[in-house]
Structure 1
Amino acid sequence: MTVVAGGAAAARPRLIRAINEQVLLDHIRRSGPVSRSELATLTGLSKPTVSAALSSIERAGLVHATGQRTGSPGPAAILYEVRPEAGFVLGLDVGREYLRGGIADLAGTVRSRLSVRTKAGDAMARVQELADLATKLQGEAGIQASQLVQTVIGSPGVYDPRLDTLTLTGRLSGWDSPAVLTALRASFGATLMIENDVDAAALAERVHGHGRGVDSFAFVSVGTGIGMGLVLDGKLRHGSHGVAGEIAYLPFTEGSGSDARDARKRGSFDASASAAAVVRAARRAGLRGASSAEKVFAAAARGDAVAAAVVAEEALLVAKAVCSVIAVVDPDLIVLGGGIGQAPGFLEAVVGQLRRLAPVLPDVKASVLGTETVVAGCIAAGLDQAWEQLVGQISPT
């Protein structure tokens, strides 16, 4: 008993130091450049405690002195900020048609960004294309693979860490095979994280978009596929099984034929309201040239009555799904994303239906982030994870 107690007592100061270092790093990341006295004020820690923790993370190469603040009484204060070259984060977005990626340093500055059309005929070929894209990004950023401290892949589907499985991968044929996770880890190493692509987009909204400073919001993506990222109390929520936000499976009418097949594979709401469903509805209504949802929306904008009716029905379906989210979660904000969610005039149509359906009407906005949204979210998630790992590697003094 004495040995255990002594060990616990010895470990306690190390734990406290690690916590202090994490707190300081977090404030420097978000507030820097910042001085020691400002860090003491921000954290509530004593100046000696701040000095000790700051010295530790500076020796570890995570922060550096970047200048002095002058113009106030007393000696000039030394300012500290994150040392960007302490590591790099790779974010990748794996889609059915395109692969996108970016590399950022630890200060969050993007050093390289690329987008390529995939030619992969199967899942394993897609893994190789991701690895090739990562190599190109590293070359453009001027870094080696060993300098990457975190890799995050934004992927359709749900990753369950308890079972170590990737499921519900939608239109990426074969992507739910266990061999895919094995191949991804072989290509990207132990620091690989898998994040749902719509959840990653929600993270991008929290950092760069309408979600900045918003405590709770839902990012609803409607396009080739349908999904939702849910941020509550400032944190992305995955749920007990990783399926929080999988609104594609809301029980809308399954229909028959291809609609019913899509509903079984990808969820009833996806079968009713995705881009493919918009095209099917337009063709059934007799709209000529309805080869894509974009063309249907364009025809509606030109005043075509048939196309306008299809778009109105789509707005009603999306409003019903959003109304369900409002009734269950009551978020401060709804952000619409995806090709349909961001289509001109669609926001207003959805809001019009929500005024009739919803018990309350939160702010509803269309995302202003572009095609790099998932990559930006992956980088944001990677930076948070990277800093946690780097702080944990600091040797206690």
Structure 2
Amino acid sequence: MTVVAPGASAARPQLIREINEKVLLDHIRRSGPISRTELAGLTGLSKPTVSAALSSLERTGLVHVTGQRTGVPGPAASLYEVRPDAGYVLGLDVGREFLRGAISDLAGTVRARLSVRTKAGDAMARIQELADLTATLATETGIDVTQLTQTVLGSPGVYDPRLDALTLTGRLSGWDSPATLAALRDRFGTSLMIENDVDAAAIAERVHGHGRNVDSFAFVSVGTGIGMGLVLDGKLRHGSHGVAGEIGYLPFTEGSGSDQRDARKRGGFDASASAAAVVRAARRAGVRGASTAEKVFAAAARGDAVAAAVVAEEALLVAKAVCTVITVVDPELVVLGGGIGQAPGFLEAVSQQLHRLAPVMPDVKASVLGRESVVAGCLAAGLDRSWQTLVGRVGTQG
């Protein structure tokens, strides 16, 4: 026998209305502008039910009529879409040299974008710069910061709940202090979400890049630091302790650019294959003007045989790491990102080594998203979170 709790019968119609509104809102977000008839066909709901739900969503300010569809049999049909100004998302990328940020509306249109070189000497100064960057972006967008429905910060490191702090933060001095996380929360409020920067770039790759319509791929970033974002079965994977993708800690200490102090701090593979390691290897080999990894790659492209040997060694190290990923998770696609990962000719060099090393060969591509990939991923994650929050409010308003 089924026992119905008191009030359950009265609550059931309201619950059904809320579910219908959430379903319609999701379809409008993904497929709008869209008509009532099209929504009825997509959802299987009756036209009167669709009309009632749309009226409720209009009252809450989440959707509006954006025009009419003409030129088809029958009367002109009103078209519905989400109200872009129902909320705004802030995406921030905190790096050692640059801070980048952007604000988008709920339709995903970027309203303002800015990149500044950081002058901060410590974590608190860097947080102040992030706050200043946010204020500038809000002014350019023409909104108040209170209108931000979600803030997502792309940062090196992973969250450790035992310490209530970020750990494995690489080269950002003081960023792993509990005081840093507390100050970030104080500055950006309850809407703050922190995502690993490489994971954020992987999200951007899934939404805007080669990862679209690919269920499993690895985004491998090689540059100032080394990391990986792993998407399996269409979902970003963080692992039990948040360290899925921290391939900088693979125990590779090979190559003339390896630094044992870096290996202890940031992992063996990072010490052997990051941009700093490439510079160290080039200098030891006698490459002239090897002040940055970019200059080493440029020298190799000009025909400098010594620089080319350094680049070849780097490609072998990265191929070994990618081969390890292939044998563990067997992704359909591997995307190379970061300053080194996207360097001209590097994709071909890594692929050549992989053909020799790997038991199977996935598609391997270089990312085309550039330096704004972390911000783009933060915005995408923030939009999803914003819509989850707004959809959760459906039925509690109006």
Q: What CA distance in whole angstroms lies between the structure 2 residues aligned with 1:325 and 1:12?
A: 49
Q: What CA distance in whole angstroms lies between the structure 2 residues aligned with 1:38 and 1:165?
A: 48
1:214-229 pair list within 5 angstroms: 214-229=214-229
Q: What CA distance in whole angstroms lies between the structure 2 residues aligned with 1:226 and 1:64?
A: 45
Q: Is the 8 A contact 1:93 1:100 kept in 2?
A: yes
Q: Larger deviation: 162-171 or 342-351?
A: 162-171
Q: Is the 8 A contact 2:256 2:284 kept in 1?
A: no
Q: Is the 8 A contact 1:251 1:269 kept in 2?
A: yes
Match of 1:138 in 2: 138
For the structure 1 residues 280 and 136, does the alpha-carbon distance in structure 2 shift closer, same or farther, using more than 3 Å as the test?
same
1:147 aligns with 2:147: yes
Deviations 1:371-392 (A, max 9, x none): 1111111111000000111111
Q: What CA distance in whole angstroms lies between the structure 2 residues aligned with 1:258 and 1:350?
A: 19
Q: What CA distance in whole angstroms lies between the structure 2 residues aligned with 1:29 and 1:185?
A: 29
Q: Is the 8 A contact 2:22 2:394 kept in 1?
A: no
Match of 1:65 in 2: 65
For the structure 1 residues 297 and 379, does the alpha-carbon distance in structure 2 shift closer, same or farther, using more than 3 Å as the test?
same
For the structure 1 residues 7 and 228, does the alpha-carbon distance in structure 2 shift closer, same or farther, using more than 3 Å as the test?
farther
State the number of aligned residues: 396
RMSD over equivalenced CA pairs, Å: 2.0
Q: What CA distance in whole angstroms lies between the structure 2 residues aligned with 1:10 and 1:228?
A: 50
Q: Is the 8 A contact 2:257 2:273 kept in 1?
A: no
Deviations 1:79-106 (A, max 9, x none): 1001011011111100000001000010
Match of 1:369 in 2: 369
Q: Larger deviation: 276-285 or 338-347?
A: 276-285
3-state secondary structure, aligned to 1:203 = helix
Q: Is the 8 A contact 2:153 2:192 kept in 1?
A: yes
1:264-303 pair list within 5 angstroms: 264-303=264-303
Give the counterpart letter for 1:271 in structure 2. A
Match of 2:197 in 1: 197
Shift of 1:174: 0.4
Give the counterpart letter for 2:91 in structure 1. G
Q: Larger deviation: 247-256 or 230-239?
A: 247-256
Q: What CA distance in whole angstroms lies between the structure 2 residues aligned with 1:212 and 1:348?
A: 22
Q: Is the 8 A contact 1:254 1:260 kept in 2?
A: no
Q: Is the 8 A contact 1:151 1:193 kept in 2?
A: yes
3-state secondary structure, aligned to 1:120 = coil
1:315 aligns with 2:324: no
Q: What CA distance in whole angstroms lies between the structure 2 residues aligned with 1:35 and 1:176?
A: 50
Give the counterpart letter for 2:225 in structure 1. G
Deviations 1:252-280 (A, max 9, x none): 12789971111111111111110011111
Match of 1:171 in 2: 171
1:69-218 pair list within 5 angstroms: 69-160=69-160, 164-218=164-218
Gaps of 5+ in 2: none
Shift of 1:6: 2.5
Shift of 1:43: 2.7
> TM-score, length-normalised on structure 1?
0.95
Q: What CA distance in whole angstroms lies between the structure 1 residues aligned with 2:21 and 2:295?
A: 54
Q: Is the 8 A contact 1:159 1:166 kept in 2?
A: yes
Q: What CA distance in whole angstroms lies between the structure 1 residues aligned with 2:319 and 2:281?
A: 17
Q: Larger deviation: 67-76 or 256-265?
A: 256-265
Q: What CA distance in whole angstroms lies between the structure 1 residues aligned with 2:279 and 2:343?
A: 15
3-state secondary structure, aligned to 2:259 = helix
Q: What CA distance in whole angstroms lies between the structure 1 residues aligned with 2:43 and 2:321?
A: 42
Q: Is the 8 A contact 1:70 1:76 kept in 2?
A: yes
Shift of 1:9: 5.2
For the structure 1 residues 10 and 260, does the alpha-carbon distance in structure 2 shift closer, same or farther, using more than 3 Å as the test?
farther
Gaps of 5+ in 1: none
Q: Is the 8 A contact 1:151 1:382 kept in 2?
A: yes
Shift of 1:26: 2.0
Q: What CA distance in whole angstroms lies between the structure 1 residues aligned with 2:127 and 2:3?
A: 50
Deviations 1:120-151 (A, max 9, x none): 01000000000000000000101001111000
